[in-house]
Amino acid sequence: MRKVEVFKIDKDYLSGEKKPLKPAKKPLKLNKKIFASFSLAVAVICFMCFGLFFLTDQNLYKIDLNSLYNDYDTGQNIIEMWNVETFEGGSGSRTDFLQNMAIQFNKKNTGKYIVVKSLTAAQAALNIQNGYLPNLVSFGVGAGSLFEDCLNKIDDTGEVRNDLLQYGQIDGVQYALPFILGGYTIISRESYLTKAKIDPGDILQNLYNAKFTSGKKFTPAVGTANSSCSNAYEALAANNILGALPDSFYENNLTNFEMYTNFVNGAFTSLIGTTRDLIRCKNRESAGTLQNCVYNYLGGYSDLVQYLGEVNIGSAGDQELADEFLHYLISENVQKQIAGIGMFSVLPSAIYSEGYLKDFEQVLLQPLKSVSAFITQQQIEGNMQDSRAKLN
């Protein structure tokens, strides 16, 4: 496991006097009871609102939060969690969701605090390179390899679906638990299907044929984002949607949002989109800013999975709290609240009672295949090439 150098936060930081750019000095003798209570209130506000560290080469540091409170014998317990996202979510922020769940957890467990920070994979890698790690980590496919060597094994997997559990294992041992799920969907402009002479009910059999020429303009059949970590091609292959033609795809090196924007602007007939693309298009249809679309939800495969891992760092108390919060996040009560951000539970039960997300959920509740939570970027790129080749 990695040896991590831990610094104490300068007490003056809590009152906003200065930044914690060096280890704290020995605390002054103050009225412990009064100062500890004041420090706790200010600390939680600062941590939740303004963050714990600056992610630059000059200002990287790790704060020993428990030592801060142990100095004053308050019995408070604070740990740090990183949220590293690699794919588009639903209608809301996963970081905000985690922060809200941390607040709920604190209300039920007085004196126990989880501080959630949002990092990119590059920022997380930079911190790890400099010896700084959190107590808990939430990560998407493509970022798991950063934490592979420093996670504790997880013995209790709760009620998480068996078909998803295996992808958080290494040599049969569970090191990561899925806790949020997304999926892929085919979104087709109905008017374009008409122009391509494709019956909307037959789109899955004729996806690559839904291209047409109007005047001098050629409109390709399919567009999908060039994501570095999610492989929409494999979702098509898993559903046996094969027979791609040389000119079927709208070939552009675009992000998810850029590809979605091009779809809305009429660049191609069908978008192979994420859960967020689905919600965007449904909202546009409701607002009258997008023509009627046909939606086909893809089951069988999804790599749009967010995982949880416990980092082997800190005291026994830190690790116990990390484990407690991890299992809180996979509890039925919390999993039901995932509906609030337009994503799906990893438990084998429904969380939607109506609407198009209920329809999508019924598809995703069927057994799914995925990829390892610890797959490397190089492996993902190789998988994408292989999956694209399957479609021809």
Q: Are residues 280 and 311 in the same domain?
A: no
For 197-253, give the DSSP string. Answer: T--GGGTTTSGGG--EEETTEEE-SEE----SS--HHHHHHHTT-----TTSB----
Q: Are residues 144 and 71 in the same domain?
A: yes
In a domain, 32, yes or no: yes
Q: Are residues 333 and 290 in the same domain?
A: no
Q: Are residues 107 and 200 in the same domain?
A: no
Q: Which residues are registered as beta bridge partners of 122?
A: none
DSSP 145: G
CA-nearest of 295, 304, 287, 167 to 232 is: 304
Q: Are residues 31 and 147 in the same domain?
A: yes
CA-nearest of 356, 392, 328 to 91 is: 356
pLDDT at 55 over 60: no
Q: Are residues 330 and 205 in the same domain?
A: no
Which pLDDT does position 43 carry in this prediction? 54
In a domain, 392, yes or no: no
Q: Are residues 114 and 27 in the same domain?
A: yes
Beta strands in 91-220 (DSSP E): 112-119, 136-140, 169-170, 173-174, 177-181, 184-189, 212-214, 217-219
pLDDT at 52 over 80: no
In a domain, 386, yes or no: no
Q: Which residues are registered as beta bridge partners of 84?
A: 119, 139
Q: Are residues 127 and 202 in the same domain?
A: no
SS3 call for 33:
helix
**Is 277 within 8 Å of 88 (Cβ atoms)?**
yes
Q: Are residues 46 and 171 in the same domain?
A: yes
Per the model's pLDDT, the better-predicted residue between 110 and 9 turns out to be 110
Q: What are phi and psi of 316, to 5 degrees?
A: -60, -35
Q: Are residues 206 and 321 in the same domain?
A: no
CA distance 254 to 224: 8
Residues 6+ apart with CB under 8 A from 99: 48, 116
Structural Rg of the chain based on CA atoms: 24
- Tens-place pLDDT, residues 268-286: 999 999 999 999 999 999 9
Q: Are residues 99 and 163 in the same domain?
A: yes
Which pLDDT does position 228 carry in this prediction? 86
Lowest-confidence range among 35-44, 48-57, 222-231, 293-302? 48-57
In a domain, 1, yes or no: no
CA distance 81 to 292: 42
- Tens-place pLDDT, residues 104-120: 999 999 999 999 999 99
Q: Which domain holds residue 38?
A: 11-180+304-354
Q: Are residues 278 and 349 in the same domain?
A: no
Q: How confident is the model at residue 311 (pLDDT cuts 50, 70, 90)?
A: very high
Q: What is the CATH number of the domain that holds 322?
A: 3.40.190.10
Residues 6+ apart with CB under 8 A from 34: none
Q: How many domains does the chain have?
A: 2
pTM exceeding 0.95 = no
Composition of the chain by helix, strand, coil, percent to 5: 40, 15, 45
